[in-house]
Amino acid sequence: MAAENSSTAAAPAPRSSLRDNRFAVRLESLLVLVILIVALSILSPYFLSVSNFLNILLATAVIGILGFGATFVIAAAGIDLSLGSVLALSGVVGALSVNSLGLPWPAAIVTCLAVGAFCGLVNGVLNAKAGIPAFIVTLGMLGVARGLGLVFTNGQPVYGMPDPIVFLGQGRPFGVPMPVFIFIAVAIVAHFVLAFTRFGKYAQVIGDNEGAARAMGIRVERHRIALYVVSGLLAGLAGLLFLARVNSGDPTAGLNYELTAITAAILGGTNLFGGRASVLGTLIGALVMGVLQNGLNLLAVSSFYQQMAIGAVLVLAVWLDQVNRARGQR
């Protein structure tokens, strides 16, 4: 009886901490972003131009949306390594739906989102119901989704999308790239869901203390599945934007994007081991990655070294997360 009372009493504790973290952003990430902007402004005369700023936002849109999906999953102590491959498969199937099957252009949108959500559903069911670790499940999906995309297209891009689809990736209302509007809209919705709804709060409670989550009556398995569906859905949306931007469904798209997306989430303050997550933080983390890549491109740094830089930032992000966790336990 005493044990039941203690577990029940412990359950409300995460709620207050979640309330405090609604607008939490890791200060170190903001500092890194400011330092990068100042340094690159000095090193390149083109960095502070309006056109380059829009290019950064355009390049950040896809990674940022993937990062939001990763944030939801990591909040519940999960991981999704299949994001880049699901992006590619979604784009390929969306392109084939209108290019080869002759379906009207809205089918590409529906197909991209549906394929992404289905891949997320498979990940969630295998993890939550079959008990297979998330790392293994999503690593397997990484290979399966990438392989399916290559099989469906014989390894070749599917070119030629309808104008309304191309507009989603290349249109510029008021001079601003359309993907930027979509990115901002998704960020607002994702932040609201994670910070102000039961769905988002329960995800963080599960990541913080699964036992307490069960004591509160949260259906942990069902919630985990839903989180992976959200992650897959956002990967499908990212695949749609990538498809629209390059005007083709490319089975090789999104290589290593999952690592960049996870880095953005962790760099922004999402706890790698669950229990704390911030969409606003992920937004800052994605901007850090976007500014870094853009600056390296302006400075004509080899893509080989750019991959090294991304890997170094990932290690830095995890180290910062460990330091913050150690501080919180004192």
Residue 194 makes CB contacts below 8 A (sequence gap 6+) with 71, 72, 75, 200, 203, 204, 277, 278, 279
In angstroms, the CA 283 to CA 24 distance is 12
Q: How many CB atoms lie within 10 A of CB 263?
A: 26
83 in any annotated domain: yes
pLDDT, one tens digit for every residue, the chain (330 residues): 343 343 333 444 444 445 555 656 677 778 888 988 999 999 888 888 999 999 999 999 999 999 999 999 999 999 999 999 999 999 999 999 999 898 999 999 999 999 999 999 999 999 999 999 999 999 999 999 999 999 999 999 999 899 999 999 999 999 999 999 999 999 999 999 999 999 999 999 999 999 999 999 999 999 999 999 999 999 999 999 999 999 999 999 999 899 999 999 998 889 888 888 999 999 999 999 999 989 989 988 888 888 888 788 878 777 776 777 666 666
- Residues 70, 190 contacting (CB under 8 angstroms): no
pLDDT of residue 262: 93
- Residue-by-residue DSSP string for 62-116: HHHHHHHHHHHHHHTT-----HHHHHHHHHHHHHHHHHTS---THHHHHHHHHHH
23 in any annotated domain: yes
Mean pLDDT of the chain: 88
1 in any annotated domain: no
Domain count, the chain: 1
- Residues 70, 265 contacting (CB under 8 angstroms): yes
In angstroms, the CA 143 to CA 55 distance is 31
pLDDT of residue 279: 94
pTM of the model: 0.89
In angstroms, the CA 74 to CA 48 distance is 34
2 in any annotated domain: no
Torsion angles phi and psi, residue 157, rounded to 5:
-65, 150
Q: Measured in whole angstroms, how far is the alpha carbon of residue 193 from the centre of its chain?
A: 15
Q: How many CB atoms lie within 10 A of CB 255?
A: 12
In angstroms, the CA 185 to CA 279 distance is 12
pLDDT of residue 24: 62
Half-sphere exposure in the Cβ direction for 23 (13 Å, CA): 0
Residues spanned by the domain of 139: 17-328
98 in any annotated domain: yes
91 in any annotated domain: yes
134 in any annotated domain: yes
Q: What is the CATH number of the domain that holds 112?
A: 1.10.3470
H-type alpha helices, 162-219: 163-170, 178-196, 198-208, 210-215
pLDDT of residue 275: 87
4 in any annotated domain: no
